[in-house]
Amino acid sequence: MSRFAFFNRSNTIHASSSEESQKPFNEILDRSGSLSRFYGSVESMKSSIRGRMVKKLCNLFESSPTKSEPRPASKLGSEPRAPSRLGSESRSASKLGSESGSGAKLGWESGMLFRLEGGEERIVVYLTSLRGIRRTFEDCNAVKMILKGFRIWVDERDVSMDRAFRKELQCVMGEENVSLPQVFIRGKYIGGADVIKHLFESGDLKRMLEGFPKMKPGFVCESCGDARFVPCENCSGSRKIFDEDEGLLKRCLECNENGLTKCPSCSCY
């Protein structure tokens, strides 16, 4: 026997091979029994888990919700309905614009509750020329371009140029935060940009603007350049005048907070 018998693995290899050789060849290669037992245990685990989940779901839905008791037939028609609030509440311009054609007409009819005094024979648009809010600025420009395409004079009241216009709009609408633009035709409230776009596409806006005098193509006011404002002639836009009697500077009462006044040429239309 070799002195390094401990490291000799030949005996174990031969022994294992001799033991395997005594077994039939089919038994050595046939592993179906062990595989079937393995998959059988896996399927039993799945079925037990599935069974517990189904049982929990059944417990959740065993107690059916309580059905509401049917109302007596005599009370169904006896209770008065709540009055419609379409005529008593203002609807936002975005909501009016998202509705169908009949919905936009309904918004225009309900807007008749907002009356603009002094605007019975003109088209008044409250807007802003500031670019602080991009969506608002684009909506104001879109409404201006739509109305300008009809070649009629529009009374544009820029709330960013005159604080009195903003207060006037808030007073008419009865709200402090009012979105821009807002359009009034013949003193009646029409709506914002979405409503005007919808009326323009449907052709209703053209019918609403019938009767207004047409202007010459490419007409531009020579006094203000369609800015609708000019510097105050009394104080030259400084908002201050010198009182010779008292020897003091006083606030000019003829211009707004920006030292501007309404264009005399545009205001005559």
Block residue for tokens 């393995």: 38
* CA distance linking residue 175 with residue 260, whole number of Å: 26
**Phi, psi (rounded to 5 degrees) for 116:** -105, 110
How distant, in Å, are the alpha carbons of 17, 21, 27, 28, 201 from that of 24? Answer: 13, 7, 5, 7, 90
Token representation of residue 182: 């807002």
Rounded to the nearest integer, the mean pLDDT of the chain is 74
**Phi, psi (rounded to 5 degrees) for 102:** -65, -35
Of 42-51, 147-156, 162-171, 177-186, where does mean pLDDT reach its minimum?
A: 42-51
Separate counts of helices (H) and strands (E) for the chain: 10, 8
Neighbours of 139 (CB within 10 A): 22
Strand order, beta sheet including 188-191: 155-158, 123-127, 182-185, 188-191
**Which domains does the chain show, CATH number per domain?**
93-208 (3.40.30.10), 220-269 (no CATH)
Of 78-92, 189-203, 239-253, where does mean pLDDT reach its minimum?
A: 78-92
Q: According to DSSP H, which parts of 83-127 are helical?
A: 93-98, 101-110
Q: Residue 204 has what pLDDT?
A: 96
Query: Widest CA span of the chain, in angstroms?
Result: 139
pTM of the model: 0.59
Interval 190-207 mean pLDDT: 96
Q: Residue 141 has what pLDDT?
A: 96
Nearest to 205 by CA among 156, 158, 157, 149: 149
Q: Are strands 188-191 and 182-185 parallel, antiparallel or unpaired?
A: antiparallel
Q: Residue 217 has what pLDDT?
A: 86
Interval 219-224 mean pLDDT: 89
Q: Which tens digit of pLDDT belongs to each residue from 25-81?
A: 445 445 555 555 655 565 666 566 666 765 665 565 454 444 444 444 444 344 444
Upstream peptide bond of 70 is cis (omega within 30 degrees of 0)? no
Block residue for tokens 């517990």: 52
* CA distance linking residue 192 with residue 265, whole number of Å: 27
Token representation of residue 109: 């009819």
Q: Which tens digit of pLDDT belongs to each residue from 84-112?
A: 333 333 343 334 333 333 344 444 454 44
* CA distance linking residue 125 with residue 140, whole number of Å: 9
